[in-house]
Structure 1
């Protein structure tokens, strides 16, 4: 059975007039009559009682009408959803991010994407850089938000946010009395670095900053992630060097201070597989580029 004939049949059944149905379908009446007759022959039933004064749908025709409406409605919905997914307006986008990305522009970026593409389901999860790289390679995620970057030639990348580093201190630390902490005062402090593994990582970035400042921490506590590191600072275990955006959210037990030593900064970068050109992935990357242009950053 041709779907075209089903549409013709529904039009006649709803109008109960071949002339009006033909006008509705933007076609001549004789071809429409022939198509309905062909449908009746194909089914072996009479769908309409025809007379000079009126046309009435038969009981068999009513059964077909109920099913035809359902079939055509489902088909139209399938077409709409297919076009929407194909344009990136629906579907599922899997994004994984480092823990410190919950500060800075990433949450706003996610909200913006939801606003622009409300029918796209977002699956969000937290991973470290090594997990991000593996998950992208194995196609378990579509987009990775890394710090500072993932080094793989199979990934395209965009810089989302560049920022300086800042010092996180326990609120009872004598160093918190200074607006800017001298780096020489940090030599004897316990440093909380993260992640514990895999390495190299942001932990090594911080240790390199200390070395450039002229000292190597004598006491180091390794935390597996950013959240644990900040929690350890809050209970007085030690100090930590973190991205400046972390200071945007107050944390009980933690003071954030500038320091006068080397500050190479850090960055959040967005990565996706080069061979993944799914519309919703490309739409997300375009939002990142717009954010980059607004903030004056160069694309990575």
Structure 2
């Protein structure tokens, strides 16, 4: 408080005017300034009949104090912005395409709402991203078909259909949709990293259900390189729907008629992470997930749409 009074007196060069501006008594301001001068052992103001004037030492001291006050004010405002989740950084782990689909929409909307939050993207297999979550090196990871992680929180957000990726020259491309029996004997290509382990597990189950021997090659490559290999005719691969939205030269994506499972994507984070920026991201993701669920329900349940009957008019939306 004393430093604030000091700056007010330095601005008004009058104890009474400074006191009026601060809403305190003139004697209070005068007493505090006098006590500060005695503590410092220097005279800050020359007292005059109609006001005061800063001494040379007083001018230097006020200049330094003003700088301190500005730094403290900046620090307070910065800390407040970080605590509100409007400024800061989010480290996000994933192992799939971020170009399209739910995650791409989520990142775009979050950036629009929180432009001062830097999104740092780290790609890797589930085991790696989960380890980084536990070590505090990642704020959140978006993982496919994750089981319950005992020491982490998780929340299912969205699901995507599984599709098959074929070389453009493959005979099966002439069919608009396929069944597992059409390609179960093909040579499958699977990544070692990313969602590769989950994809491999699913392919193994489907091939075993059809009584066939698995023909598989695991490759330690990224998604783009894997698709290049598919385009070159080295094999086929399984991917999720959002991955098929990005055209890839020489690769054709087809739905699978008898595939009744979907790729389930969940957010995983540490229970010890109290980041407001993370909380805002999860809140937005949850709202988007609920809206997607309502849209899908409205599209797949036309019988629930309001029906107008004589003497009765529905005013609400789709009953849930």
TM-score by length of 2: 0.85
Question: How much does 1:51 deviate?
Answer: 1.2
Q: Which residue of 2 aligns with 1:246?
A: 243
Unaligned stretches of 5+ residues in structure 2:
295-320
Matched, 1:219 2:215: yes
Larger CA deviation: 127-136 vs 104-113? 104-113
Larger CA deviation: 73-82 vs 179-188? 179-188
- CA distance 1:48–1:234, shift in 2 (3 Å): same
Q: Is the 8 A contact 1:46 1:58 kept in 2?
A: yes
2:20 to 10, 23, 42: 23
- CA distance 1:100–1:206, shift in 2 (3 Å): farther
Written as runs of structure 1 = structure 2, the 5 A alignment for 1:4-19 is 4-19=1-16
Q: Is the 8 A contact 1:99 1:227 kept in 2?
A: no
Written as runs of structure 1 = structure 2, the 5 A alignment for 1:13-162 is 13-162=10-159
Question: How much does 1:102 deviate?
Answer: 4.5
- CA distance 1:196–1:120, shift in 2 (3 Å): closer
Q: Is the 8 A contact 2:207 2:214 kept in 1?
A: no
2 CA distance for matches of 1:109 and 1:196? 24
Alignment length (residue pairs): 294
Larger CA deviation: 159-168 vs 219-228? 219-228
Question: How much does 1:254 deviate?
Answer: 0.8
Question: How much does 1:134 deviate?
Answer: 1.3
Q: Is the 8 A contact 1:101 1:268 kept in 2?
A: no
2 CA distance for matches of 1:47 and 1:198? 69
1 CA distance for matches of 2:141 and 2:64? 46
- CA distance 1:209–1:239, shift in 2 (3 Å): same
Unaligned stretches of 5+ residues in structure 1:
none
Question: How much does 1:131 deviate?
Answer: 0.6
Deviation digits for residues 61-99 of structure 1, max 9, x if unmatched? Answer: 110111011000000111111122222222322111112
Structure 1: which 4+ aligned runs deviate by more than 4 Å? 196-200
Question: How much does 1:197 deviate?
Answer: 8.9
Question: How much does 1:60 deviate?
Answer: 0.8
Q: Is the 8 A contact 1:170 1:235 kept in 2?
A: yes
TM-score by length of 1: 0.90
Question: How much does 1:192 deviate?
Answer: 1.2
Written as runs of structure 1 = structure 2, the 5 A alignment for 1:165-204 is 165-195=162-192, 200-204=197-201
- CA distance 1:99–1:280, shift in 2 (3 Å): same
Question: How much does 1:204 deviate?
Answer: 0.8
- CA distance 1:196–1:156, shift in 2 (3 Å): closer
2 CA distance for matches of 1:295 and 1:53? 72
1 CA distance for matches of 2:193 and 2:271? 30
1 CA distance for matches of 2:242 and 2:159? 10
